[in-house]
Structure 1
Amino acid sequence: MLMFIKLILGHLIGDFILQPTKWVIHKESNKITSKYLYVHVLLHFALYMLLLWDLSLWKIALVIAMGHFIIDLLKLYSNSFFKNKSIPFFIDQGLHVVLIYCCAFYTNLYEHTLTLFQNLDWSLITAIVFVTYPSAIIMGKILESMSNQIETDHKSLPNAGKYIGIIERLFVLIFIVIGRWEVIGLLIAAKSVFRFNDLKERNNRKLTEYILIGTLVSFGLAILAGLLYIS
C-alpha cells in the first residue's frame, strides 16, 4: 500500500504541480511531436524513482512512465471527439490510477483486488449513490407541480441547482457518518446566508417557499440515507 501511495503522490506532483500550462497547450497543439510530452514523461519517471528510493524498482517506474506516455498520447488524439473536455480528462486520470494500482500490486493483483471488493462498505456506497442523482430525480418529481409556478432565471448556470443539491447532500451524509450533526446546522445556515440577498432583491414569496421546500427535502433525503446507514 505504501508503494501505491508514493506512486500516486508522484503522479499528482508530476501531472498537477510540475506541469505548467504552457506544456499542456504545447502538447495539445503538437501532440506526439511535442518536446514537453517527453519531458513530462521523464519527469514522472524521475519522481517515481525519487519517491520509491529503491533502484531495484526501476522497472516498475519505467512501466508506469511508459504507460503514462501512451495514456497521455491517447488523450491528446481523442480530445477532438469530446465536446465536454472534462470527460477525456477524467478518463485519462482514471487510467493513470488503474495503471499505478496494477503496477503497485502486481505480485498479488487478483488477491488484493478481490479482498478490496470484499471489504467495501456496500451500505455506505448505496447511501452515497442514493443522495446523488436518484435523490435529485426524486426531488424533481416532488417539486414538479411547484416548479411550473416559478419564473425561470436565465442568469443561472445550467443544472447548477442540481449539482449544488448533490454536493450538499454528500456533505450531510458525511457529517452523519462521522457523527457531527452540529455541522449540518452550520451548512443550512451558510446556505441561507447565500440565498438571503437573492431572495430579498426579488421579493418573490413563491420563489422563497419553493427554495425552502427544496432545501428541506434535499436535507431530509440525505438525513434519511444517513440514519438508515448508521442504524
Structure 2
Amino acid sequence: MTLFLLLLSAHFIGDFYLQPAKWIQCRHDKGLQSPSLFLHAGVHAVLALVALWLADAGLWQGLAAAGVITVSHFLIDWAKAGHKSHLAFALDQLAHFLVTALVALSFTKIDIASLLTSKNIWLTRENLLYLTGYIIIFKPASILIGQLLSQHAEQLKKTQGEEEGKSLGNAGRWIGYVERLLALSFILVDEYTGLGFLVATKTVFRVGDLSRERDMRLTEYMMLGTLMSFAIALITGWLVLALKP
C-alpha cells in the first residue's frame, strides 16, 4: 500500500502539476510526432524512480517497474491523443490507475487470482448497504425529484423561456448529485454539521429577489428541489445506518 500510494502520488504530480497545457495541446495536434509526448513520459519515469526508491523497491526490480510505468504511460497517452471528451479522460486515468495497481501488486506475494477469490472480504453486508445507498441517491433520486417537480418546472419554463429553463434543469441535476453525495457521506460519518454548510451554500447562491413574481417561482422551485434532495439523502442515510450489522 505504501508503494501504491507513492506511485499514485507520482502519477498525479506528473499528470496534473508537471504537465503544461501546451504539452497537452501539442500531443493532441501531433500525436506520435509530438515532443511533449516523450517529455511527459520522461517526467513520469523520473517520478516513478523516485517513488520506487523511497519505497526501497530494489535496484533491478525498481528499474523494471519504472520501465513498465513509463512505457505504458507513453502508450496510453498516445492512444488518447486527439480525444478530448470526458469519457476519454476517464478511461485514460483508469488505465493509468490499473497499471499503477498492478505494478504495486507485483512487489507483494498476493496475486490477482487470490484477490478475485477473496471477494467475500469486500462483499459484506455493510459494504453492500453503502453501495446501495449511494446508487439510490444519484439517478433514482434525480428521476423521483424530477417527476415530483415536473409541473412546477413547466411553469418555470413558461416564465423564463425554453433555453433558460433547459440550462437550469441540467445545472440543477448535477448540483443535486453533488449535494446528495455530500449529504449522505456526512450522515454516514456522523458529521451532521456538514449539512448546515450545504444548506447555507445553497441559500447564498439560490435565493432570489422575492419582489418579482418570476424570481419568486424560481426560489420556490429551488427550495422544493433542495428540500426533497436533502430528505432523500437523510432518509437513505438513516436506513443504511439502521440496517448496519
Q: 1:131 aligns with which of 130, 137, 141?
A: 137
In structure 1, list runs of 5 or more residues that go unmatched: none
Runs of 4+ displaced beyond 6 Å = none
Task: Provide TM-score, normalisation by structure 2.
Answer: 0.84
CA distance in 1, matches of 2:168, 2:87: 19
Tell me by how many angstroms 1:114 deviates.
Answer: 4.8
SS of 2:81's equivalent in the other structure is helix
Q: 2:185 aligns with which of 159, 174, 181?
A: 174
Contact 1:105 1:112 in 2 (8 A): no
Q: 1:183 aligns with which of 194, 207, 210?
A: 194
Tell me by how many angstroms 1:116 deviates.
Answer: 6.5
Q: 1:119 aligns with which of 107, 111, 122?
A: 122
Name the % identity.
33
One-letter identity of the residue aligned with 1:175: F
One-letter identity of the residue aligned with 2:11: H
Alignment of 1:30 onto 2:41 = no
Deviations 1:54-82 (A, max 9, x none): 423111111111111111111115x1xxx
Aligned residues: 225
Partner of residue 141, structure 1: 147
Q: 1:194 aligns with which of 186, 191, 205?
A: 205
One-letter identity of the residue aligned with 2:27: K
CA distance in 2, matches of 1:117, 1:44: 36
Tell me by how many angstroms 1:208 deviates.
Answer: 2.6
Q: 1:226 aligns with which of 237, 242, 245?
A: 237
Task: Provide TM-score, normalisation by structure 1.
Answer: 0.89
Q: RMSD between aligned alpha carbons?
A: 2.0
CA distance in 2, matches of 1:16, 1:176: 32
One-letter identity of the residue aligned with 1:27: R
Trace 1:89-100 onto structure 2 (pairs within 5 A): 89-100=89-100
Contact 2:206 2:219 in 1 (8 A): no
Partner of residue 4, structure 2: 4
Tell me by how many angstroms 1:200 deviates.
Answer: 3.7
CA distance in 2, matches of 1:17, 1:168: 28
CA distance in 2, matches of 1:215, 1:76: 40
